Chains A and B, each alone.
Chain A
Amino acid sequence: MSTILIVTEIQNGALREASYELAAIAQKLDGASVKSVVIGQGVDALAAEFASKGGGEVFVADDPALAHYSVEAHGTAIRAAVEASGADLVLLSNTPSGWDVAPRIAAALDAAFVSDCFDITLDGGKPVCRRRVFNGKLNATLATSADKVVATVQPGATAAFEGSTDGSVSKLDVAIDAGGLKARFVEIKQSAATGVDLTKAEVIVSGGRGVGDPEKFSEVIKPLADALGGAMGASRPVVDAGWLPHEYQVGSSGQTVQPKLYIACGISGAIQHLVGMKSSNFIIAVNKDPDAPIFEIADLGVVGDLFEVIPALTKAITAAKG
């Protein structure tokens, strides 16, 4: 490994924390020279900042067509940066734009590709990547054997780089034919306000695929939430199946919650759910699968049948309230 290219990402006018996490990974790989690319419109100041905070030699791709993420325009800029840097390892964050463009870059370069890594090390100079498979139930270690490797890294998996580096900024010539793009950004639609605001609930009782059917939410999950004076939530598969509306969804594509007590019923604990509730003050998980990842972040776990445990708990709470 001789040169690493960090593909940064801008969100709300600043570089994402995830870009500094990529810097942390790049800076710890021995003997590699670290280069970066900052892509956007009017981003010279961000590039200068990143150059001194882990980015090293920073290329700036500045063009009106890069103001918003667009797979073709950003892909063109990233490929220009790969060429200019001579990078043999290209790092992106596994964000909605990162997962969208990274595989395309890898295919265009005929490179090795590994997505959503939580760790990257070197073995004999070749990147070795670790990532979750089977929705977090197993970890896989992957070896790469190609001249070029493209990898995306799970945001939050590594602490951000906090040191300072000697860096430089140079302009990257990127010719984007804005009129010829076949994929175009139109707008960002913010989520409409919903009637269910889980972020303010002190107690949330959430159900997952293990609840089995929509009626069981009103028969089993809702009564416990009511007994505790709390709110009912759900994981993605429940909402995808149409059992509950989207406004009940807790997780990366739903609401991020931090109640005093979170009770997860029949939720295995896919990473998308965990990021939305892991900061809860106290977590109780009920699941029949002892290997469910939810038990790794729960404070108390019950390995058992939620249809026996939850009604018993509802009854005991009602009795305790007298």
Chain B
Amino acid sequence: MKIMVCLKQVPHQDARLDINGDGTWIQEDNIKFEINSYDTYALEEALLIKDAGEAEVLVVSIGPDRVTQALRTALGMGADRAIHVNDPEIQGSDSLGMAKVLAAVAKEENPDLILAGLMSEDANYAAVPPMLAELVGIPHTTAAVKVERSNGTLTCDREIEGGANEVVTLEAPCLVAVQSGLNQVRYASLKGIMAAKKKPLDVKTAADLGVADQVGAGAAKVSVTQIAPPPKGDTAELVEGSPDEIAAKLVTKIKELGLL
């Protein structure tokens, strides 16, 4: 079987979030990037299926040159092949534009299963995976915390509210957007990283994929006009001093609460 894993490279969780010059996104120069954490669980799930039998794992990512690093890491973890859609014309696309690019890849590759993370840690949209499933014409589920396969059917537990799970079955080919925490993500071994250098990493443009007229800011139906820190409302009263002074002030408060 063939598994396509969608990866997004996002600013590192501890990266400084400075607003860019026109106030529409963060300053992305000179900050560290990493694979979106939700997507690492999707990749791990694909690699677990590969470990259990015959599966080819294809990783796909859209973005500038820096994305090569994320794809090499994924290959180092055990993915077999990578496709890097690297095209400045794609910049400014909305979720639907990105989904159209990935759908074009999926239609060329015909995977039996597409795995993705529930959402990205930067934009937090959670939009691309269900859109991709719609555009490819396959069933999907989101927030999967357990994925089991039997013949052509996947049984997934999806996380709903209050600690409950909803069990759904999907007929393959299908797409599963995974919740974080559904497995323990492996690290790339040194051997894996060395082997990854010989694995195929194809670079494509929107034109190669036949979607040049559907991407970029011109085709986008949604655009960010402003980004800003949330207004400071009732911020906490700050307690300052040395650790011992802070501790003494907190003890006074805890006593007032009647808890000491």
Residues of A contacting B138 in the complex (Cβ-Cβ under 8 angstroms): 182
Residues of B contacting A128 in the complex (Cβ-Cβ under 8 angstroms): 225
Asked if B167 contacts A300 (CB within 8 A), the reply is no
Asked if A104 contacts B121 (CB within 8 A), the reply is no
Residues of A contacting B254 in the complex (Cβ-Cβ under 8 angstroms): 228, 261, 317
Question: B39 to nearest A CB, angstroms?
Answer: 13
Partner of B246, one of A110, A132, A203, A313: A313
Residues of A contacting B19 in the complex (Cβ-Cβ under 8 angstroms): 138
The interface on chain B, measured as residues whose beta carbon lies within 8 A of the other chain's beta carbons, has a size of 84
Asked if A240 contacts B230 (CB within 8 A), the reply is no
Q: Is A166 located at the chain interface by the 8 A CB criterion?
A: no
Q: A293–B171 Cα gap in the complex (Å)?
A: 41
Q: A65–B87 Cα gap in the complex (Å)?
A: 43
Interface string of A209-250 (1 = CB under 8 A from B): 100000000000000000010000000110111100000000
Q: Is A125 located at the chain interface by the 8 A CB criterion?
A: no
Residues of B contacting A84 in the complex (Cβ-Cβ under 8 angstroms): none
Interface size classification for chain A: 35 or more
Q: Is A291 located at the chain interface by the 8 A CB criterion?
A: yes
Which stretch (B78-86, B200-208, B236-244) binds chain A? B236-244
Q: Is A100 located at the chain interface by the 8 A CB criterion?
A: yes
Asked if B124 contacts A112 (CB within 8 A), the reply is no
Q: A314–B127 Cα gap in the complex (Å)?
A: 44
Can you name 21 A-B pairs with beta carbons within 8 Å? A103-B127, A110-B96, A113-B96, A116-B126, A128-B225, A134-B124, A138-B227, A142-B225, A183-B169, A183-B170, A188-B165, A191-B162, A253-B163, A260-B257, A284-B250, A293-B230, A296-B235, A300-B239, A301-B239, A308-B243, A320-B255
The 7 closest A-B pairs by CB, nearest first: A301-B236, A240-B181, A191-B163, A112-B221, A183-B139, A298-B236, A146-B221
Q: A140-B227, A146-B221 are in contact. Are A107 and B239 (CB under 8 A)?
A: no
Q: A284–B138 Cα gap in the complex (Å)?
A: 47
Interface centre among A112, A132, A240, A299 (most CB of B within 10 A): A240
Asked if B257 contacts A282 (CB within 8 A), the reply is yes
Asked if B134 contacts A141 (CB within 8 A), the reply is no
Interface string of A285-298 (1 = CB under 8 A from B): 10000010101111
Q: Is B228 located at the chain interface by the 8 A CB criterion?
A: yes
Residues of A contacting B228 in the complex (Cβ-Cβ under 8 angstroms): 138-139
Residues of B contacting A185 in the complex (Cβ-Cβ under 8 angstroms): 166-168
Residues of B contacting A72 in the complex (Cβ-Cβ under 8 angstroms): 139
Q: Is B150 located at the chain interface by the 8 A CB criterion?
A: no
Asked if A299 contacts B225 (CB within 8 A), the reply is no
Q: A104–B94 Cα gap in the complex (Å)?
A: 14
Residues 105-132 of B contacting A (Cβ, < 8 Å) = 121-131
Given contacts A260-B257, A309-B243, 17 further A-B contacts (CB under 8 A): A95-B161, A99-B142, A102-B130, A112-B222, A114-B222, A116-B126, A134-B121, A138-B229, A141-B227, A183-B171, A187-B167, A189-B166, A253-B161, A284-B253, A299-B236, A312-B246, A316-B247
Question: B28 to nearest A CB, angstroms?
Answer: 12
Q: A308–B222 Cα gap in the complex (Å)?
A: 45
Asked if A116 contacts B130 (CB within 8 A), the reply is no
Specify the chain A residue showing the minimal Cβ separation from B14.
A289
Asked if A189 contacts B165 (CB within 8 A), the reply is yes
Q: A187–B257 Cα gap in the complex (Å)?
A: 44
Residues of B contacting A114 in the complex (Cβ-Cβ under 8 angstroms): 222
